[in-house]
Structure 1
């Protein structure tokens, strides 16, 4: 009887993994395809690439602020219900993207897409973690990342040529249809898991965090234009004002979170090194990971002269290697502990950025170094992320997994957002080799901060 239940459990795990892979297919694929098509989208909607970058940044800001709330909603109302609601929202907004008429409407729909994703992602993780159990939690993280990156790799292979053939709008219809299919299957497959405590949602905290982050991003976006005008960002009044107000809002957010009964982010958890340091290290890796991922397509289409579809296909090694390395990363955590995978992940990310720096000009095997950089980025994310996320999850009780996963993803989204806007600002619009090299070296220095977690929070042979 126990063996039969075990087989049923293993069977459900595999089936749940496939359902989640199909559910997140559009999210991961569109992230890569929209990034690759960003210069074309900007031209089609009569805007600049930097402004078009808000298509990604707006989505991620919605994810960063909404994910903790989404995790908490899953704890309160059930992760199955929240998962399905988020999947329906993502499907509707994918179809809606086909009819956007300007960059403003496109950004708005992508923000709504991000809100739906904020409901789906933490509940997906919670459903998998519950299905795999505490002993195999690291494997659950690894397989979730496989679902997030492996399935979208196939989507990019198909979607890249489709962009060249039918235009960038067509890909949203294709993945909208797949989202609808995933919704129907999920209704019959996904099982409910125990709910957490019924706590209120901290909407004021979400507003403070969103406002503070938005002002930082606007300040970063303004800096290149200030420099081009011959002025200094240090003396530019609007830039100084936005940074000052954002700092005040961040401080207000921290104070508020310590007072509210049910905070958006439980800042008290940041007193735990095993919670705070892996979050910060993961955010630094994501800063470099996503920042470079947004800049590289412009390099491939600009200095190297590739089409949108070709650039998208050239980007496949990153999610492909990420997908292959993620289960290995989860297994390594179980076998040797978290310290080794964290060190390996940070090291691979640093060398990835240095490879991009060398390959930023199309000379002397430049494209080869870009491909090496993409592979190393995938290795870094696949090997390191399960260790970071497992350490964070193991710092809280099971009843708060939704909140912890929400906080984990929020901090990583913040790293992604800052990485994208900062590196777009550093690279500029002219994409000169000197500026590109400086951009990637800067990203490597940020990634180096990722060593903090394995040095100070993890110990040799610390297992999941």
Structure 2
């Protein structure tokens, strides 16, 4: 394959003070788009009551954002490299702001779902640009710490968003969550317009439209199937069609990218061990953490009886651990090696999940906060070096796509975590509530089997000793299901860490940076 003849791209020359300002603004933009999904986890119950939404509609209020977000990330990164990262960032923030603000005046739940999908389009343009702009303005010797800050914010902001949303819901309606997100996005838009430097790839290759279409169809269909599988059933026709389209679209994407002169993502980049190992680590920890996050909020509110804001406060130690240790992780990686630090992070994550698994039934809040402290530190030591490994393995001219690849592994890991670990939980919960709902009216029995909230409502309506037995059985079933899901998360973390360590341990010629074709994201021969 022909080697690249493009001139090397050096970081944009900006003063140290402006670099800090750019990092701050990029982290604000990142926090807004990442925190939106976490905010909705808290706001959805109020939205259901106000809008009269069905369970399926509530699922799509959450999932429309994730589907468009994940499906368009690679395209968003490529657009930034091709047409200018600052312009794409500003366009994404504008779309996100308008879509979030539009919810304030709408009472039709289907229109809310459409606007959530549109906000996901904006987020897909914003998230990869934040990291690529940071890597473009920081010189290599300072880039690791800046990426560490970005990585800490990418996770910590989700937890802080839960706290903020809980506080807003204590005093205002659910619409206040959308208002605050729109205002913060508008502030990030104005600040980025003033402070962010312009940059783009030095290689002016034609945009890979076919690759972009195949990536959107393949990723979007796969995410749809994963999201709908637990709700509709894995053998449902729509779910099976989604899997077929997803696998077919992504297979066609790989086939096309291997033959395209200027690919959207040169899939040979995965021959670079930093990219492969980093992607494995991020995917595995995202599966475990998003699965925990989805179940942990329910545990705090429905088992421990916490309000939304108290639930947010219970997770603050996790955010603190992630945000404090993330900037330190690159220094540890340089001193002790990336493999050792990422392994430490995954061990801490597995330990935190293990503590939760053995203390779910009766452990209380202090056991929960101790475990989440381990999880926060583990995320810092695992995800930060993994992110740096991906962006460092790819050339500066393709940092938009490099950033999008990093973000895509996070988003797909999150969707997989909620779907897979949620499915493990549901299987156990339904099995263990089967005996308790026997004898109840059909509608009450179905509600009790569907969720803990439905079981507690049915118990209150039944009353007496029968109602108490149903409530106790449902809580025990929830604890058992959460324990099984956490054990599943531990298995994912261990397998992902073992595979990444094996990749980084292997030595040979292919571990060096390979030549890349003009305008590609990476490559090899």
Q: Calculate the TM-score normalised by the size of structure 1.
A: 0.86
Q: Secondary structure at the match of 2:207?
A: coil
The Cα of 1:27 is off from its aligned counterpart by 2.3
Give, in whole Å, the separation in 2 of the partners of 1:221 and 1:150.
Answer: 24
What residue number does 1:75 align with? 81
Q: 2:167 matched to 1:161? A: yes
Give, in whole Å, the separation in 1 of the partners of 2:213 and 2:303.
Answer: 41
Give, in whole Å, the separation in 2 of the partners of 1:356 and 1:50.
Answer: 30
Q: Secondary structure at the match of 2:141?
A: coil
The Cα of 1:64 is off from its aligned counterpart by 2.2
What residue number does 1:450 align with? 496
Give, in whole Å, the separation in 1 of the partners of 2:330 and 2:202.
Answer: 26
Q: Which moved more, 1:281-290 or 1:425-434?
A: 425-434
What residue number does 2:71 align with? 65
Q: 2:33 matched to 1:27? A: yes
- Cα distance, 1:73–1:240 mapped onto 2, change above 3 Å: closer
Give, in whole Å, the separation in 2 of the partners of 1:103 and 1:73.
Answer: 32
2:81–2:400 Cα contact (<8 Å) kept: yes
- Cα distance, 1:274–1:183 mapped onto 2, change above 3 Å: closer
- Cα distance, 1:104–1:403 mapped onto 2, change above 3 Å: same
What residue number does 1:378 align with? 376
What residue number does 2:486 align with? 440
The Cα of 1:141 is off from its aligned counterpart by 0.9
Which residues of structure 1 form unaligned runs of 5+?
1-6, 228-232
1:138–1:333 Cα contact (<8 Å) kept: no
The residue correspondences of 1:40-439 to structure 2 (distance < 5 A) are 40-47=46-53, 52-149=58-155, 156-193=162-199, 195-221=201-227, 223-224=229-230, 240=240, 242-361=242-361, 363=362, 365-428=363-426, 429-431=450-452, 432-439=478-485
- Cα distance, 1:412–1:166 mapped onto 2, change above 3 Å: same
What residue number does 1:10 align with? 16
The Cα of 1:343 is off from its aligned counterpart by 0.3
The Cα of 1:305 is off from its aligned counterpart by 1.9
Q: Calculate the TM-score normalised by the size of structure 2.
A: 0.77
- Cα distance, 1:273–1:207 mapped onto 2, change above 3 Å: same
**CA deviations over 1:86-118 (Å, ceiling 9, x no partner):** 222222222123234354333322222222122
The Cα of 1:327 is off from its aligned counterpart by 0.5
- Cα distance, 1:440–1:81 mapped onto 2, change above 3 Å: same
Give, in whole Å, the separation in 1 of the partners of 2:174 and 2:191.
Answer: 27
**CA deviations over 1:29-72 (Å, ceiling 9, x no partner):** 33332223334434444446675344443323322222222222
Give, in whole Å, the separation in 2 of the partners of 1:319 and 1:139.
Answer: 18
Report the number of matched residues: 451
The Cα of 1:157 is off from its aligned counterpart by 3.9
Give, in whole Å, the separation in 2 of the partners of 1:392 and 1:56.
Answer: 29
The Cα of 1:271 is off from its aligned counterpart by 2.5
Q: Secondary structure at the match of 1:184?
A: helix
- Cα distance, 1:203–1:378 mapped onto 2, change above 3 Å: farther
The Cα of 1:166 is off from its aligned counterpart by 0.8
Give, in whole Å, the separation in 2 of the partners of 1:388 and 1:51.
Answer: 36
Give, in whole Å, the separation in 2 of the partners of 1:346 and 1:414.
Answer: 19
Give, in whole Å, the separation in 1 of the partners of 2:237 and 2:157.
Answer: 46
- Cα distance, 1:105–1:10 mapped onto 2, change above 3 Å: same
What residue number does 1:230 align with? none
Give, in whole Å, the separation in 2 of the partners of 1:237 and 1:190.
Answer: 47
The Cα of 1:388 is off from its aligned counterpart by 0.8
Q: Which moved more, 1:71-80 or 1:102-111?
A: 102-111
What residue number does 1:4 align with? none
Give, in whole Å, the separation in 2 of the partners of 1:28 and 1:245.
Answer: 27
Give, in whole Å, the separation in 2 of the partners of 1:283 and 1:119.
Answer: 21
2:14–2:137 Cα contact (<8 Å) kept: no
Give, in whole Å, the separation in 2 of the partners of 1:298 and 1:153.
Answer: 14
Q: CA RMSD in A?
A: 3.1
1:389–1:408 Cα contact (<8 Å) kept: yes
Larger Rg over CA atoms:
2
